[in-house]
Structure 1
Amino acid sequence: MSRELLSSKIVVEEEEPRVRGIPSAPTSVAGAVGLAERGPIGQAVLCTSFEEYQATFGGFTPDSDLTLAAMGFFENGGTHLWAVRTAHYEDASDPESHTATPAAAALTTGGGPTPAVVRGTLRPPFTLADGQRLEVSANGAEAVDVVFSGTAASVSAGRPGPYTLTAGQSLRVRVDDGRDVFIPFSEEDFGDIAQATAQQVAAVLNAGLIGGRATVEAGVLRIASDTQGASSRLEVGDAVANTVFGFAGGPQVGSGNVQSLRAVELAEVRALVEAAVAGVRVAPSSLGALQLLTQSTGPGASLRVQGDAGSGLGLDALLHTGDASGATDVLHLEAKDAGAYANRLEVEVRPPTNGAPDTFDVLVLEDGAYRESFPNLSTVDGDARYVERVLNDERTGSTYVRAFMVQPDAIPDVQTVALSGGADGLVGLDDTDFIGSEAGRSGLLRAR
């Protein structure tokens, strides 16, 4: 190195060249979203090896880009992968609107009298409105109303506008237990920011709100969640919320007898109908749609379902009756995950291994090969080997199918049924299905 004095105030130093490294960021943890053979849709699953990934999301298919990405990640030294399986969503902000469907089938028994059955045409979840009702009449009895209810969590300002704001202030809003969103206010949003009208503030909020909406009622600003039901949540809180608008502090909670009216599950319909209407059961059909059945059987059994909720549940308003003899659905089977892979599954019913009366064995096949066996099952709810309890157990149950009783205490005939109707939900697939939505917490945003 040389050092040369060029003037009384300037010094030039020459140094040997050296490489300055760029600090590296860890690459052993990653998130990925894509298509897979099976597995939950729209949920981030932590995988610590490719084998663990395959146990959840299956193997290679022509469309399984997520599986290729996972294999490459682990082969190159990755250790923790948050994987999200996606499909096409009819509404990216609604995580229940994906178009993938699970394969399904029914185990039946034949020869005896059959119940009256109203079979729906729609799979859950269902979209209903607050106050919609079913009018259910069984066996000629007077119709019983089943009302679906749900209100959104909301909060109103403590005073009407105008509101005195300052440029740079922001309002913190959290909807449905999502992340905090800070919505800033700037002078260009208002004619006079110190005299901001409720309508102007609502417009600014709606440009930034995720999963909620601001409205004005009688000059007062109001914010509400888009979710109507018991799962609806809303929190507006900070100094601006309290001092400028007078919003109530703390989380606000919605109400209703379902979690969300825009995503009503079959189990919720079952709970409401069976609690209100004596002698009627609710169960999935062999196609996974909703169906209502009488507990009584034979030509004297009848069932009619009317009311404005019927169309949203896919039910007709005709009178249905039982028959003196015929095949009866005993047990509904549904693939554990949505997808076309489950169309390769079969379920076989055999006589019980232990020879006990009123029991049976269930075996699950994939591509003709036996994968699982569940011996000595019962259709009696209180039994230790009750078929729903055994097959649906999260730890020891089936990794392929779930079971739902349709006709209590009936025993399915010896038979083999193939599951069908499974679809991967790829029609209409676009970038939004991969990128996701803040409101729906889908796609890449689920892996964050």
Structure 2
Amino acid sequence: MPKAKKKKNSSFQTTITKSVFLYGRPNKEKLVILQQMQNSYTALINRDIDLLEKNPDIVLQLVKNDKKDPQMRKLEKAIRPEGINSAFCQNAFDAAVVQVSGRLNNIRLDLLSEGRGIFAQSKVLFAMSVMGCSKQKMEETMRQIEGMFYEDCTKTLHEMSEKEFSDLQLEFQERYATKSLEYRVPKLRFVSVPLDLRLMKIEQSTDTKMPYVIIITNPLKTRQRITIPLDTSGHFLHKIQNNKMAGMVLMQIRKGNLRIGWSYDSTRQQPATTNCIGVDTGISDCFHTSDGRAIGSMSPVIDFYHEEVEPAFAELANLRNKKRKIKHFLRKHNLPEDVRRSLIKKMDHLERMIQTAKAPYRKKRCYYARLDHEIKKSVTTYVDSISKDTLTAIEKLDIKEFNKSRKVNGMFSTFARGKLQRKLMEALNQKGCDFFEVAPD
């Protein structure tokens, strides 16, 4: 079985990205235009997601999240609607690629945890397996890529018999189809609209009391620009004046008001420390410090997962297994026509039950909400209790990347511990407190 993907090393970051927010109150006419922009952008992303999912020729680019590939750019131009700004369409297409790529990568990591070998380890072989490429074509592709890993993949493929390759690919396709049902195709309801220099311009205001104005080009109508005054707090105003701001902003309509998110990079020095506290990330206690403090508890949240979420998904998996057994039985046996029709109807009924099952996903969302609440409370309690000259020593979790699926992590408690530790490191970095990870004995 392939080795788990280990957690990346983390340490104090001297450069972090922060955001400031500016707010505007557009009149009714301008508000309608901005809402149309936001709705059109969301619809464009969902349309592009559907088109990308149905295109079998670009699976490799999607798995690699390669938005700048010539074939991807050619496709984006081919499906670009007439009468809509090209920059607006490109941003929507890139956002759709990110969504589809994330789904495919989650499926790949799940298959990797199940021991699918090089066909899940290598993104290239994973994509070629999805596309149904031959063994010979896979070998030729691997030979063209430099690196020891790809040489090992080529050797493994070469030593594999045609029958063994065919059986492995058949198993891969069945598991991929199952995972594709588990990870539904993304459908976005509400997204912020990215506006780069081709679509907007922010200037200091000269005719209003507001400090800034934003000039937005309407991507849905030629040669139409709208100007909206923007206000912000004194703190954000100071940050804007003292930092080099990004060339892209995020636009969002909230309760009839315009919100503009503008990011910048903040550079800081490594803080000097005078004392050190060790923090153990656990489950019974969220944090147990070297000075004897126990902060928070993850046990009730994990118990909810084991008692509510796991059984719900077990029932869903049972339905999928029943459907798979019937499909296998139909393929392997020569049955009378009336029996085949009866079994096909049963498969259709099981498929409807699978597609309409909402309880498992509702319970999973509830678990995430409880987990986030407990993590936020525990992290805030610890960070508020230390001074900036405190060095925090954290045990390094030797686990897979914790923002993946349940099966990839082996145990869902590992997911909870990993997320808890990541939030702690982010909070320490934001406050300017130094930390480092210590490998366990």
User: Fold match, TM over 0.5?
Assistant: no
| TM-score, normalising length: structure 1 | 0.22
- When normalised by structure 2's length, the TM-score is 0.22
Q: Which is richer in strand? A: 1
Which of these two proteins has the greater Rg computed from alpha carbons?
1
Q: Compare the two structures and name the one with the higher helix fraction.
A: 2
